[in-house]
Structure 1
Amino acid sequence: MSFLELPLELRLIIYEHAAVEGAAVTIGVCELTGKGADIVHRVYGDERAPLPGLPPNHEPAVISTYSSRLLSVSDPARVDASSASSPALHHSTLSSLLLLNHQTNAELSTHFRPKNNKDTSLFVQYPLGLHVFKTKCPDLIQHARSIHIAGSCPKPTSQSDLDHLDQLAGLVSTTLAKSPRFPIEKLEARIYFPGENSYPRVWDDSSPASVILRNVCGGFIDMEVARGRHGTGVYVSVRSHPDNKRVISTVWRRLVEGDHGQPSCGDWAVDKQWPEWNSEFTPSSPLP
């Protein structure tokens, strides 16, 4: 007996067990390297097309595990275009089932209501990972217990840079507004601002830290600002408050990086304890 010959009630039970995500999903982009012909085939071969909104020679990546490399600022993820592997795109189980065939799609759309199994931590590269999240896998928000954002924030130079801020604002509002559609336990963002004089940009209206603060209705908001010679790091941690009160604390630290024997510039953006995280706020270790 084939799967589609089983009673509908039994198939719905199987769908319920199948539509569960893993402990971590990482969302970002990879730069394509190698010969020009290989890059063109990687982007356009087999009826593929580049994802609008990404820089040339970049492809989206959605990985069903934690990948610090995909989040890295100092050593961004790259893929050899001559590699035989296909683009690293993970689709949620539910979205894959919807694409299986017409009957499965109809059954899921009409009869199936997935359980709210908020067990997955989403790790999102900033800023392009937000675009990939919105366009390729928005349904993953239904499974999110926490969201962790990491990346670099150069000074905005185009409309696409502002679009990323709108996507961030929408994500925060969806998960941490007064009556969020998809509530989560915690959102944290570790954003690196490159440049010796980058500190003032932390508080600009176009700063992701400012966007998060504007779109959080209430909660425990803890901020750390790490200032260094080569750049500034901002860590924002937001947890829901039972009474929707807004409680904010901020500390300043020294950021040591970029010189001989020190971490590379931007390493700070990726938390060394990830994919592990605490539901409470955990301050960074003091720097020497």
Structure 2
Amino acid sequence: MYSAFLALPTELRCNIYDYLLADSQAVTISAGYITIFGNRIQDRARKHDIPGLPLGLAPLARSHYDASLLSVAKPPEIAIDHGWMGDVEQTNSTLGMPAPLALQLTCHLVKDELTDYMRGRRQIKAARAQSLASNVDDQKSFTGIDEEGLSLHVTYPYGLLVLKSKYPYLLKQARRVYVSGYYTNPKDLEPGSPASPEGSDEERPTLSGSFAIAESFGTPAPMRTFRRRPFATAFAGASTDTRPAQRPRLRLDPPIAQQDRRASSTQTTFPPFFETTNALAPAALSHLIRTLFPPEASQVTKLSARILYPGENSYGTVWDDTNSPVTHILRSVCGGKIDMKVKRGPLATGLHMTVQPKTDGRIVSTSWENWRANATVRSTMRTPRMGVEDLDKFLVGEDENS
């Protein structure tokens, strides 16, 4: 069969390969809540089952960087008000192949040529990086080349499950991978909290309980049955009877402290995951790390992970919990330069980890800092307090840009 592309000279085909490899592309993978007229529903007729993904969520994929899919304060939603789930799912989860991968699938000759060209291009980059290691000015001009290729933005844990189930081929094509999300240990949740499944309706204040009369007053509970009286009788009774009517005493609970309100808001924003999600997400993360950082050299240049651990005393969960994402990343990286920055705050503990490939060894560095709210955005008349929006900026990466 005649092929116009193979009829081109080899030098021209190499120029086309170089153009495809130098082009920058970004992909964002996450999951969103399914809503109809503002109410969240479950998709029990899902066409493609994704292990670990709850029925109330649907996969989301964008062929560009979309920061709204990474937000936790305002999680993404998929509205099916004027459509059916099949069309919405196809629109939001359909993702094309990267150009180099699509070209490799044309025929064996093109695949061999492109693979050999990529190998030679990688060797030239490594030699150039070693020769320019002593020159700072040349290093600045050389860093622009690292922006080429595919950048993959994935959320934890739902984005990783969608990536492993629907788009596993993107891992071999990605040069930079950004993982952002949060992790909660079900054992750390307090019973009766909004996020705890053990909280029942009986433990919450009700209207009938609020109108109960305290026993210390020694008065019987009033009857709360009201009957409509004739207008004349009511008017006459009001003119002759001057005794005050007995009212039920309203029992109010003490006001919730501001710190407890902020903690409750944090637990509502970061709900716990299902058991299947907690079991499959660490395995998907380990698979991603082993694919990106094998014992031999690969094309990936950077891995960035931003993980939130909600709670004031969540620092121990970062290292002690066996299902913590950080522990799986450290165990799965064969070799590399690992830089970790731990931020401890009143609402959560944030960890920013950066991994760069290094096949001949492993270097780990860790730094700690107190996490405070950005004083430039808030009022300077009072001490700035952290909120959920500050945690969301950390996940998106806006805290370093501000």
> TM exceeds 0.5?
yes
**Among candidates 87, 92, 107, match of residue 87 of structure 1:** 92
Q: Distance in 2 between matches of 1:133 and 1:168?
A: 10
Query: Superposition pairs for residues 27-42 of structure 1, below 5 Å?
Result: 27-35=29-37
- Change in 2 beyond 3 A, CA 1:152/1:8: same
Query: Superposition pairs for residues 71-220 of structure 1, below 5 Å?
Result: 71-82=70-81, 84=83, 85=88, 86-93=91-98, 108=106, 110-113=108-111, 115=115, 116=118, 119-155=149-185, 158-179=275-296, 182-203=298-319, 204-220=321-337
Letter in 2 for 1:78: E
Unaligned runs of 5+ in 1: 99-104, 274-283
Larger radius of gyration: 2
- Change in 2 beyond 3 A, CA 1:52/1:176: closer
Structure 1 partner of 2:258? none
Task: Give deviations 1:153-186, integer Å, cap 9, x for gaps.
Answer: 1116624313111111111111113215x44111
- Change in 2 beyond 3 A, CA 1:224/1:9: same
| 1:60 and 1:132 in contact (8 A); partners too | yes
Structure 1 partner of 2:341? 224
TM-score w.r.t. structure 2 length? Answer: 0.55
> How far 1:244 moved relative to its partner?
2.1
- Change in 2 beyond 3 A, CA 1:94/1:135: farther
- Change in 2 beyond 3 A, CA 1:36/1:188: closer
Higher-helix-fraction structure: 2
| 1:199 and 1:227 in contact (8 A); partners too | yes
Unaligned runs of 5+ in 2: 122-147, 187-273, 375-382
Letter in 2 for 1:198: S
Task: Give deviations 1:179-233, integer Å, cap 9, x for gaps.
Answer: 15x4411111000011122110100221111111111122211101111111110
Q: Distance in 2 between matches of 1:16 and 1:95?
A: 8
Structure 1 partner of 2:198? none
| 1:187 and 1:237 in contact (8 A); partners too | yes
Q: Distance in 2 between matches of 1:43 and 1:97?
A: 33
- Change in 2 beyond 3 A, CA 1:262/1:52: same
- Change in 2 beyond 3 A, CA 1:233/1:24: same
Q: Distance in 1 between matches of 2:151 and 2:160?
A: 15
Q: Distance in 1 between matches of 2:276 and 2:41?
A: 26
**Among candidates 272, 280, 284, match of residue 398 of structure 2:** 272
Letter in 2 for 1:193: Y
Letter in 1 for 2:356: R
Structure 2 partner of 1:276? none
Structure 1 partner of 2:234? none
| 1:18 and 1:93 in contact (8 A); partners too | no
> How far 1:44 moved relative to its partner?
4.3
TM-score w.r.t. structure 1 length? Answer: 0.75
Q: Distance in 1 between matches of 2:44 and 2:19?
A: 31
Answer with 77-86 or 123-132: which moved more: 77-86
**Among candidates 9, 33, 36, match of residue 6 of structure 2:** 9
Q: State the SS of the aligned residue for 1:171.
A: helix
Q: Distance in 2 between matches of 1:253 and 1:205?
A: 24
Alpha carbon RMSD of aligned pairs, Å?
A: 3.8
Higher-strand-fraction structure: 1
Q: State the SS of the aligned residue for 1:108.
A: coil
| 1:177 and 1:215 in contact (8 A); partners too | no
Structure 1 partner of 2:253? none
- Change in 2 beyond 3 A, CA 1:10/1:81: farther
> How far 1:17 moved relative to its partner?
9.2
